[in-house]
Amino acid sequence: MTELLERALRKLAESPPDTQDAIASQIIDSLADDQAWEASFARDPERLSRLVQDAENEIRRGETRPLDELL
């Protein structure tokens, strides 16, 4: 375990149980999402390249807006 993660867990241990559970759930969900993306890209290695190309094409066509405009 890294020092940063150990420090985060020590700090989290000071929080109430419901906060600990909420953050633990977020971490577990995030790890599951990461695993799903990794599996998806392993099945189709060119998928990420296609997604990047699609995004670049949308930007060139002016079909995107800066996030600041949406908030």
pTM higher than 0.85, yes or no? no
29-53 pLDDT per residue, tens: 999 999 998 998 899 989 889 999 9
Which residues in 12-34 are b (16+ Cβ under 10 Å) and which e?
eeeeeeeeeeeeeeeeeeeeeee
What is residue 2's predicted lDDT score, i.e. its pLDDT?
A: 97
Cα–Cα dist 3/11, whole Å: 12
